[in-house]
A = this chain, B = another copy of it.
């Protein structure tokens, strides 16, 4: 048995940071030994400063741990970043420059042409950018990112459909409030309501999806046209979306379903610890997927696709759902790090 890889967490007290703490504390490969956050928390016990919002308790071994400042060079070589975008840009770069592998959930470097925007099942080969990044920047460390919480559901659902000549995608999301962090969405805005706008979200979905499905590490975006409508709904966890796709190859509906069902990626082949089996659950129940019943499938790492059927306008339409704070955030970054570990990038 391999020794555990020590990891640190940047932004450990935030909503995504708490997910990192909870999931890494029971991880078979990684051992979180270093928790960093803003100066406000520095020097205090983690349990005393993290406004813990998960239903599972704070891991016993991490609650008493002293929170440190986000100082590059301190902490383990591998750090997960749950930093807010307002500070992630500067800090992540400083850490990479200081030799850390920064496995980040922040949006700041996702569209950087030298930074992989990774979904291990979909574009694991984009990790080849890491060497280019290190050379171009003169870093020993590197930054690797995972997509936005809606993008990851959409891109994973679209990946198996590329073989059918994906020409266009129309997506309308219904997103959970946990996607906006804490305090996030005011209850007066969302109780019994829908807000048909999430700032910057449509642009992110459109651009990130094409990079992920693209070639040359994402520098040549996929040629499909994508248009997104994004909505906030009164759901706690789980982003659900209706999707209409134009498939140039005009496959039969059963072939589309089979492509989704049979889809596997490197995480499944390598049996990475967080890999869901299968990554895409296809539901044949008319009124599924539903956020409350299906977001936790595959320990929150599988997406569920249902109602796959012909579309009178495009070619095929369906519903897709994924857990936005697991597959769409901390779990995504951890799966990225698992692939990097399996590829001996941390060796």
Using known A-B contacts A225-B312, A317-B227, determine if residue A177 contacts B197 with beta carbons closer than 8 Å.
no
**Residue on B nearest A171 in the bound complex, by CB:** B172
Pick the contact of A174: B53, B174, B187 (CB < 8 A). Answer: B174
Inter-chain CA distance A185–B170, complex, in Å, is 28
Task: Tell whether, in the assembled complex, residue A229 and residue B178 are in contact, meaning their CB atoms are under 8 Å apart.
Answer: no
A288-344: which residues lie under 8 A (CB-CB) from chain B?
288-293, 296, 306-307, 311-314, 317, 319
Task: Tell whether, in the assembled complex, residue B172 and residue A172 are in contact, meaning their CB atoms are under 8 Å apart.
Answer: yes
Task: Tell whether, in the assembled complex, residue B174 and residue A191 are in contact, meaning their CB atoms are under 8 Å apart.
Answer: no
A233 interfacial contact with B, CB 8 Å: yes
Inter-chain CA distance A67–B109, complex, in Å, is 42
A189 interfacial contact with B, CB 8 Å: yes
Q: Hey, which chain B residues are within 8 Å of A226, CB to CB? A: 312-313
Contact mask A236-249 → B, CB, 8 Å, 1/0?
Answer: 10001010100000
Inter-chain CA distance A233–B319, complex, in Å, is 15
Contact mask A273-296 → B, CB, 8 Å, 1/0?
Answer: 000000000000011111111001
Q: How many copies does the complex hold?
A: 4
Task: Tell whether, in the assembled complex, residue A177 and residue B187 are in contact, meaning their CB atoms are under 8 Å apart.
Answer: yes
A3 interfacial contact with B, CB 8 Å: no
| Distance of A171 from chain B, by nearest CB (Å) | 9
**Residue on B nearest A175 in the bound complex, by CB:** B194
A38-55: which residues lie under 8 A (CB-CB) from chain B?
53, 55
Interface centre among A168, A189, A311, A317 (most CB of B within 10 A): A189
Q: How many residues of A contact B (CB 8 A)?
A: 55
Q: Hey, which chain B residues are within 8 Å of A290, CB to CB? A: 193-196
A94 interfacial contact with B, CB 8 Å: no
Pick the contact of A313: B178, B227, B286, B296 (CB < 8 A). Answer: B227
Q: Hey, which chain B residues are within 8 Å of A346, CB to CB? A: none
| Distance of A214 from chain B, by nearest CB (Å) | 16
Inter-chain CA distance A227–B231, complex, in Å, is 19
Task: Tell whether, in the assembled complex, residue A287 and residue B197 are in contact, meaning their CB atoms are under 8 Å apart.
Answer: yes
Pick the contact of A240: B178, B196, B286 (CB < 8 A). Answer: B196
Pick the contact of A231: B174, B178, B185, B234 (CB < 8 A). Answer: B174
A206 interfacial contact with B, CB 8 Å: yes
Task: Tell whether, in the assembled complex, residue B234 and residue A187 are in contact, meaning their CB atoms are under 8 Å apart.
Answer: yes
Task: Tell whether, in the assembled complex, residue B183 and residue A313 are in contact, meaning their CB atoms are under 8 Å apart.
Answer: no
Taking beta carbons and an 8 Å cutoff, which residues of A are in contact with B?
Answer: 53, 55, 168-170, 172, 174, 177-178, 182-197, 206, 225-227, 229, 231, 233-236, 240, 242, 244, 286-293, 296, 306-307, 311-314, 317, 319
